[in-house]
Structure 1
Amino acid sequence: MLSFITSFLPTSYFLPGWLTLETNPVNSLLQGLVCACGVSVLCSLMRVHLYLEDSSSDRNDKDTSNQSAPNHQWRTDTGLSGKIQFFMVTVILAVVGSRAASLVVLEFCLRAVSGWVTAGPESSKFLQQLLVQSQFSLGCALSCSLYFLHEGAPQRWLCLVLAAALSWFLASLSTRLLHHVMVLYKLHSSQRYCGICISLLTSGRCLLPMLCRIIIATFSVAVVAAVSVINQQFLSAAEALRFWTPLTICYTLLVVYMQEEQHRLPSSQVVLNTVVVRLGGLFVLMLTVGHWADVFHVLMCFLGEASCLIPNRDLLDVASSQDEEDFTDYVKREHHRGPKVQLKTHK
């Protein structure tokens, strides 16, 4: 019944082959909905985590001094702008093919592993920034994983409907949790009134490790799916070698560039410039060894990254401001420590 209805949709009759979807539009839309819900869950939980850290730091500052530290400007995208952003991410992830999504996943995994190895003692701060930047990459990971797991399934649309219902339920729960925390957390945590806020007050530090474990499991499945999806396009080992060699060189150069950027002050503008460089290198690579469909899908990835990062620039600013606050606290401690050391040496 579903295939009979979708057969009348103008897909391949009026559009060239590189503009058509890999599956029928209903399956693609359901797959994009699942991926957008995953991005929404990640964004909401990261906002909750950063808000809890900001609240705990403000509480500590009030305990140590009479002056209260200025709060960050937090906002929740529950209005019309949030719905438009969610719709845009859904459509973009529905249009982006599994091949381009696989390339984005492989690039992100290589960048994440190399950055985590070189982060050292600042791994927790690096993980916060990486999770904020991984929104569209998470959507691509879910997209290629769903394509790989449901490939050849006779009732693929039914599996996607169940997955979309579950992901929509989880996204709505995370959005309601975020709204509750933003509005009532300070009141409930101070008066020990709400069970949700008390649990977040006592065990809120476990939220970031839980997100990291979920992201690691998701991208582990996505890497296997990405390699399998890309290797399906080749008929011989020579073709595979001709594709993987420039891809490896391009990704290695991108990782070197990311490591150089980490020595600079982290900010939202640096992140946006990094996104342009990463996808620009992938776009040039697809012009040389890819297909026209890959080039079009990489261009759609530009829009996807912009639709995920630009509305959430406050998260990037909070993550970078926490690093700045840690640096200023270190400078103040060294400044107060200096006269004491000089006095001891003088004695």
Structure 2
Amino acid sequence: MSFLLTSFLPGWLTLERNPLNSLLQGLVCACGISVLTSLMRVYLLLEESWSDKTDKDTTAQRSHHHRHKAGLGAKLQFVLVTATLAVVGSRVASLVVLEFCLRTVSAWVTARPESSKCLQQLLVQSQFSLGCALSCSLYFLHEGAPQRWLCLLLAAMLSWSLASQATRLLHHVTVLYKLHSSQRYCGICIGLLTSGRLLLPLLCRVLIVTFSVAVFSAISIINQQFLSATEALRFWTPLTICYTLLVVYMQEEQHSQPSSQVILNTVVVRLGGLLVLMLTVGHWADVLHILMCFLGEASCLIPNWDLVGAASSQVSAKQCAGPRAISVHRDHKTRAEYQCVH
């Protein structure tokens, strides 16, 4: 059946894998992104309950979370992300993973004293890159497996179960956390109340492990395309130069523009750079897959733009809450000293 579907298409328009394997792999990747976004929303709701915000702001933010979940938008987004990651090849997914990891390490090193400020922003930006990381890792780990579709089917079932559990947790926290945490009779809410602050560091550790495996897989996948060291050098040299220039440019832009605008510019610049690189040293299939990556990034960021806004507002608030000037005044009558914070 797959032969009949692809026999009339040019080679650069066909999938590099069996359509069933591609669909299952895209499903696993989309479930991974769903788990990440659900847990990030849970953490935002917990952080909202810890903060000293007014009732008006809290009500507005809670209604915003309800409005995000309403309708078929989440299901359509899930289908779109699944289809996009099913089409994007392992080579382009590997390039996206390497670029994201290099940019993340650079941002972490340059903002080391303020690393906690940009941590949530990096998590928001990592959604589609996480899908690409899972895609190239699955391709590398299952390469040559005699029953590859069965392995991917088991992985899809497990990831679907995890995504469903994360969605249920988000719904439970959104509706019942405030009541249960105050009355302390729900095990889930009590656990989040006592150890909810560990959720963000836990997500970071899981992503570090995931991207570490993906980097190894990405390098192996890319090197398989070359028959000699000369061809590999001809590809890696412009790739390294392109990535270095992208990282330097985006680090400069990060300090001169609002955070939400920086995220949009980052997506356009880095995928645009990869597109130019693939037009130079890649294949037409790579160019098509890079264009699909634009769609994938948009389908991850636009429906979750409230996460981008929340991360941007937190970074701005923390940057404004820096060290303040302290002046000392002395009362000449009582000879008491007072400290005034400006």
Q: Give yes or no for TM over 0.5.
A: yes
CA deviation vs aligned residue, 1:191-221 (integer Å, no higher than 9, x gap): 2121111110110011111111110111111
Does the CA contact (< 8 Å) of 2:25 and 2:138 recur in 1? yes
Partner of residue 230 from structure 1, selected from 215, 222, 227 = 222
Q: State the Cα RMSD in Å.
A: 1.8
Between the aligned partners of 1:25 and 1:253, the Cα distance in structure 2 is 36
Amino acid at match of 1:26: L
Q: List per-residue Cα deviations over 1:314-341 (Å, max 9, x = no partner).
A: 001011111233344448xx3xx64xx1
Is 1:136 matched with 2:128?
yes
Offset at residue 343 of structure 1 (A): 1.6
What is the Cα deviation at residue 237 of structure 1?
Answer: 0.6
The one of 23, 30, 35 equivalent to 2:24 is 30
Give 1:121 deviation, angstroms: 2.3
Counterparts of 1:57-206 in structure 2, within 5 Å, are 57-58=51-52, 61=53, 68=55, 70-71=57-58, 72=61, 73-75=64-66, 76-77=68-69, 79-206=71-198
SS across alignment from 2:311? helix
C-alpha displacement at 1:111, in angstroms? 0.5
Equivalent position SS for 2:65: coil
Amino acid at match of 2:86: A
Separation in structure 1 between the aligned mates of residue 330 and residue 105 of structure 2, nearest angstrom = 45
Q: Distance in 2 between matches of 1:105 and 1:69?
A: 41
Counterpart residue number, 2:5: 10
- TM-score, normalized by length of structure 2? 0.91
Cα distance in 2, alignment partners of residues 274 and 70 from structure 1? 30
% identity of equivalent residues: 75
Paired positions, count: 328
Q: Give the counterpart letter for 1:177 in structure 2.
A: L
Return the offset for 1:344: 4.3
Residue 246 of structure 2 corresponds to residue 254 of structure 1 = yes
Residue equivalent to 1:306: 298
Q: Which runs of 5+ in 1 are unaligned?
A: 62-66
- CA deviation after TM superposition for structure 1 residue 294, in Å: 0.5
Any idea what the Cα deviations from partners look like across 1:13-69, whole Å, max 9, x if unmatched? 1111111001111110000000000000011111111221122113xx5xxxxx557
User: How much does 1:225 deviate?
Assistant: 0.6
**Following the alignment from structure 1 to structure 2, what is the Cα–Cα distance between the partners of residues 99 and 118?**
29
Q: What is the distance in 2 between the residues matched to 1:272 and 1:264?
A: 14
Distance 2:331 2:102 in 1: 49
Instruction: Letter of the 2:191 partner, please give it.
Output: S
Q: Is the 8 A contact 2:12 2:284 kept in 1?
A: yes
The 1:329/1:245 distance shift into structure 2, 3 A limit, reads closer
Q: CA deviation at 1:78?
A: 6.0
Is residue 84–residue 296 contact of structure 2 (8 Å, CA) maintained in 1? yes
* CA 1:78–1:140: 2 relative to 1, 3 Å: farther
Give, in whole Å, the separation in 2 of the partners of 1:41 and 1:307: 16
Give the corresponding residue for 1:64: none
Output the CA distance in 1 between the equivalents of 2:142 and 2:17.
11
2:202 is the counterpart of 1:210: yes
Select 2:34's aligned residue among 30, 40, 51: 40
Alpha-carbon offset, residue 272 of structure 1 = 1.0
2:65 is aligned with what amino acid? W
Matched position secondary structure for 2:227: coil
> Which shows bigger deviation, 183-192 or 227-236?
183-192
State the TM-score, normalized to the length of structure 1.
0.90
Q: What does 1:268-283 correspond to in 2, within 5 Å?
A: 268-283=260-275
Structure 2 residues without counterparts, runs of 5 or longer: 338-342
